[in-house]
Structure 1
Amino acid sequence: MDNRAIGYIDSGVGGLTVVKQALTQIPNEQVYYIGDTLRMPYGPRPQEEVLNFTWQMVNYLLKKDIKMLVVACNTATAAALPDLQSKLKIPVVGVIQPGVDAALATTTAAEIGVIATAGTVSSLAYYNALLQGNNTAKVTQLAVPEFVDVVENHDYTSVAAQQLVFDKLGYFEEHQVDT
């Protein structure tokens, strides 16, 4: 049995939801988590800068001798996953493909909405992966950088957060989506 830790990285604390879910499935694993709250959000940053920040976190975790890396940030996954997978000798997974798989399994009309940071939307990572999974899908993307603040500030239940979600998701009423 390999007792080394699994490393998780994110631009902030939102990736802790990924860790929490993983630990329900693999509860005895040791975890190292880095949330780059100093430089978050990553969404409006250039892809090359996100790639550089991601490698800085990865190099730190590699010194800890992790056995696997989870990129728990959509923007970092979009910017860095292929590079990490091609250069690292450990398994590396991101969060985009699981989201794509869930959307494709859920949709009934193949009309899928994507809510993400500007960096993730402009990367077309979800868009392309969804079309690869179903080439007839209609994919509508919306960058909502304001959601980053809600997550990072743990402001899920305030009236202001609820109003923000209601207002932003109203976009999808005009663009038919079922998922």
Structure 2
Amino acid sequence: MSDNRPIGVFDSGMGGLTVLKALRAALPGEDLVYLGDTARLPYGTKSPETVRAYALQAVQLLMSHDVKLVVIACNTASSVALGPLSDALRPLPVIGVVEPGAEAGCSATKNGHIAVIATESTVKGGAYERAIHALNADAQVTQLACPLFVALAEEGWTEGEVTEGAVKRYLLPLFPDGGEVPDTLVLGCTHFPVLAPAIGQVLGDKVTLVDSAATTARAVALTLKDKDIAHAPADEKSIVRFMATDSPERFARVGSVFFGEAIEPENVELVDLKPAPA
């Protein structure tokens, strides 16, 4: 069988476009619908209740496009809303980015000490620590909230003095000279991969940087196969539809940095998220 319904992807803004990029590379035959809730960014400083409400509204809009699977390409929403959304949408598959990111971190570490940088909400919720310990009970997990990284990424400030200064201020205390330090750094927010070059320049090659985009794409591919809902043939170029809740022009300009190719403003639909029905 071949299921040509699209895969729905949503994020609080543009960071999830790194996941969309990985999905497009891994699943070239699948059509994709992306929603960035740019009007209410960031999610990471909001309460779990608010994030769950926002996530449900986003998914309701994606459902109106007859999606066959939903990817929560937002670590904050994955950490607090994956369970409720999975229950609400069952049997529609819902995949988050936390578990794939934890899996990638556990695979990469040599000394069992993994650092996770994320938003305040993700760190406070402890989702990564739980996911990593579910895979490796002996792992040592160090978490740090880096909220300024989201703003830098959204502004497209991926390099330069300001970005390098923020990276040093946040991360150097995690990796002091001497003693045992983490050998793996999980980028626990989909906005952070665009800052990876700056982070790598500061930390050097002693630390392996991990993001969940490729691992999430593999999880989606396995789910499509398991549920027999993949679209064949897989050699077709996927059609990507973009939606944003604020400023399509800015979404296209900055989003191109995350997506790795140009996004034309006229191809970004401005949408309004209404409260989900009770």
The bucket for the TM-score relative to the shorter chain is over 0.9
Alpha-carbon displacement from aligned partner over 1:11-64 (angstroms, at most 9, x marks no partner): 000000000011110012111111111111001100000000000000011111
Partner SS state of residue 156, structure 2: coil
- Which of the pair has more CA radius of gyration? 2
Residue 177 of structure 1 is matched in structure 2 by 182
Q: How does 1:31-42 map to 2 (within 5 A)?
A: 31-42=32-43
**Letter in structure 1 aligned against 2:181:** Q
- Residue identity matched to 2:183: D
Aligned to 2:63: 62
Q: In the alignment, which residue of structure 2 is the partner of 1:25?
A: 26
Matched, 1:11 2:16: no
Write out aligned runs for 1:105-116 (5 A).
Answer: 105-116=107-118
Shift of 1:172: 1.2
Q: Deviations for 1:115-138, whole angstroms, at most 9, x for unmatched residues?
A: 000000011000111111111111
In the TM superposition, 1:1-179 aligns within 5 A as 1-88=2-89, 89-174=91-176, 176-179=181-184
TM-score by length of 1: 0.97
Deviation at 1:80, TM superposition (A): 0.4
- Residue type of the partner of 1:122? K
SS of 1:114's partner is strand
Dislocated runs of 4+, deviation >6 Å: none
Higher relative contact order (CA closer than 8 Å, sequence separation 6+): 2
RMSD over aligned CA atoms reads 1.1
How much has 1:103 moved relative to structure 2? 0.5
Between the aligned partners of 1:117 and 1:171, the Cα distance in structure 2 is 17
Secondary structure (helix, strand or coil) at the match of 1:113 reads: strand
Which consecutive residues of structure 1, in runs of 5 or more, have no partner in the other structure?
none
Q: TM-score, normalised by structure 2?
A: 0.63
> How far apart, CA to CA, are the structure 2 residues paired with 1:159 and 1:90?
45
Distance apart, 1:157 and its partner CA: 1.9
- Which residue identity does 1:75 align to in structure 2? T
CA shift for structure 1 position 151 = 1.6
User: Equivalents in 2 of 1:150, 1:96: separation in Å?
Assistant: 22
- Opposite residue 176 of structure 1, the aligned amino acid is V
Note the residue ranges of structure 2 that are not aligned, 5 or more in a row.
Answer: 185-278
Q: How far, CA to CA, are the matches of 1:154 and 1:93 in structure 2?
A: 27
Corresponding letter in the other structure for 2:22: Q
Q: Give the Cα separation in 2 of the matches to 1:24 and 1:56.
A: 28
**1:163 deviation in Å?**
2.0
> Deviation at 1:167?
2.1
What is the aligned residue count? 179
Greater CA deviation, 151-160 or 31-40? 151-160
Deviations 1:80-116 (A, max 9, x none): 0011112212111000111101100000111000000
In the alignment, the residues of structure 1 paired with residue 50 and residue 133 of structure 2 have an alpha-carbon distance, to the nearest angstrom, of 27
What code does the residue aligned with 2:165 have?
A: Q
2:38 counterpart SS class: coil
* 3-state SS in 2 of match to 1:139: strand
**How far is the alpha carbon of 1:169 from its aligned partner?**
1.1
SS in 2 for 1:119: helix
Q: Which range moved further: 53-62 or 82-91?
A: 82-91
